[in-house]
Structure 1
Amino acid sequence: MTTHITGTREEWLAARLELLNAEKELTRRSDELSRRRQELPWVRVDKEYKFETEEGSASLADLFRGRSQLLVYHFMFGPDYKAGCVSCSAIADGFNGIAVHLANHDVTLSAVSRASLAKLLAYRRRMGWTFPWASSGDGRFNFDFNVAFTEEQQREGAVEYNFQRAGHAMDATPVPLPVAQSAAMTGTDATTYSLDRPGLSAFVLEDGVVYHTYSAYARGLDGLWGMYQWLDRAPKGRNETGIWFRRHDEYDRR
């Protein structure tokens, strides 16, 4: 017998209409936040960044692929990882279906990671993805956009992620179980794993100049997790303890 509250259809409808008002308010608030994102000042990017892509060496402007807007997903795949981060992989599973729509709306979606291009492309083939993926190698791009850190920063507790120093699970001591689990799934230890972090950065190209317009990290990426948007509407919600998900080719076939 269920322990959850039950009721009549009339009781359900009354509660649902009350919830609908809250959902509409959330939607209006989300629209307002989107407007405020677009009103952020643009910051000119004067530094020359170099990437390795399938088409060869590329600049940040080249990653736009002829469009005026660029969304970069900072995919956690450090140089010493054996495989991409399982959480980033779950997010990236949704990229193929939307990238074509973005491309036809003047927006390029690209992933960027520090691992070698050969590693990235091999993993992309394994996952069956087709979206652009560039390697920033040992350049400053990931460090400058606060998704990669040095061992010295880590030792000194000087990691600043999600616009604050410390406070993130990946900086906690002892290492939280989900972080240890995720690290093991990339074939690394937690210390190495935590040198890279997930994020999203947006750029615009205007009159030949690249500007940085927005970045988000940690829970700021929640909206990109397609599976979580569905789970939030499922009867039991996220209903999780630890890392329950796997790469899509690692599940038992059911």
Structure 2
Amino acid sequence: MTDHKTGTREEWLAARLELLKAEKELTRRSDELARQRQELPWVRIDKEYRFETDEGSASLADLFRGRTQLIVYHFMFGPDYTAGCPSCSAIADGFDRSVVHLANHDVTLSAVSRAPLAKLQAYKRRMGWTFPWASSLGIAFNFDFNVSITEEQQREGTFEYNYRRGTASQLRGGDEPEIPSRATPEGAAKGAAMTGTDVATYARERPGMSAFVLEEGVVYHTYSTFARGLDGLWGGYQWLDRATKGRNETGYWWHRHDEYNKG
């Protein structure tokens, strides 16, 4: 017998209609937040960045691929990783097939990581993805957008992530404490093991996304979000939030999509 509250269909419907009011309010609030995002001031990008891509060396403006809007997913794949971050991989599984739709609505979605291009290409083939993926190895892009930190910053705790300064606990764990699945003691260790690194190396990369616009030949930065700000972009979480038991997380539970059935 279940320990959860049960009831009649009529009782369920009454409760559901009350919840519907809250869901509609959340939707309206989300629409308002989207409007506020679009009203943020644009910041001109004057620094020259050169990425390595499938088509060769590319500037930030080149990543737009002829469109006026660019979304960059800051994919955790450092130079010393042997494979991409499993949680970033789960997010990428969700957005891979959206790329063509965004491209036909004047938006290019591209991943950017510090791993060498050959590593990114090999992993992309393994995962069966089609989205563009650029290497920022050897340039300041990841550091400028606060998704990579140096060993010196890591030792001294002087880095910034998610609009706040780093702390000793973040350095040890490598994750935001408000993410239950990664706040457990084994969370960072498991992520590190799955990327073929130690915890310190794993933690020098952080997830995020940034938006840019290209107008009259000038690139502007318009928005960035990190940590739980990415929840809405993780398709699997949106389904779990509507499942009976919700996220039901007690640890770092996910794997790459080709690893679940491996003993």
Measure, in 1, the Cα distance between the counterparts of 2:8 and 2:138: 61
> 2:80 maps to which residue?
80
Q: Taking every aligned residue pair, what percent have the same amino acid on both sides? A: 76
More deviation, 216-225/169-178 = 169-178
Q: How much has 1:145 moved relative to structure 2? A: 0.3
CA distance in structure 1 between the partners assigned to 2:121 and 2:11 by the alignment: 53
Which residue of structure 2 lines up, in the alignment, with residue 107 of structure 1? 107
CA deviations 1:64-108 (Å, max 9, x no partner) are: 000000000000000000000000000000122110000000000
The residue identity in structure 2 corresponding to 1:11 is: E
Q: Would you say 1:140 and 2:140 are equivalent positions?
A: yes
CA contact (8 A) 1:170 1:179 kept: no
Bigger mean CA deviation after superposition, 174-183 or 7-16: 174-183
Question: In 1, Cα distance between the equivalents of 2:236 and 2:149?
Answer: 29
CA distance in structure 2 between the aligned counterparts of 1:120 and 1:71, rounded to whole angstroms: 18
Question: Which residue of structure 2 aligns with residue 3 of structure 1?
Answer: 3
Q: Distance in 2 between matches of 1:242 and 1:178?
A: 6
- Unaligned ranges ≥5, structure 1: none
Partner residue, 1:233: 242
Aligned residue pair count: 253
TM-score with structure 2 setting the length: 0.94
Call closer, same or farther: CA 1:97–1:115 in 2, change over 3 Å: same
Which blocks of at least 5 consecutive residues in structure 2 are unaligned?
175-183
1:187 aligns with 2:196: yes
Instruction: Specify the code of the residue in structure 1 equivalent to 2:212.
Output: F
Q: State yes or no: 1:94 paired with 2:89.
A: no
Q: State the Cα distance separating 1:171 from its structure 2 match.
A: 2.6
CA distance in 1, matches of 2:76, 2:89: 9
Cα distance in 1 between the residues matched to 2:84 and 2:260: 16
Amino acid at match of 2:248: N
Tell me the amino acid that sits aligned with residue 194 of structure 2.
Answer: M
Aligned partners of 1:39 and 1:131: how far apart in 2?
A: 28
TM-score (norm 1): 0.97
Say if 2:173 and 2:203, in contact at 8 Å, map to a contact too: no
Query: C-alpha separation between the residues in 1 aligned to 2:122 and 2:186?
Result: 28
Query: What's the CA shift string for 1:104-137, capped at 9, x where partnerless?
Result: 0000000000000000000000000010000001
Q: Which residue of 2 aligns with 1:36?
A: 36
Tell me how far 1:5 sits from its aligned partner.
0.6
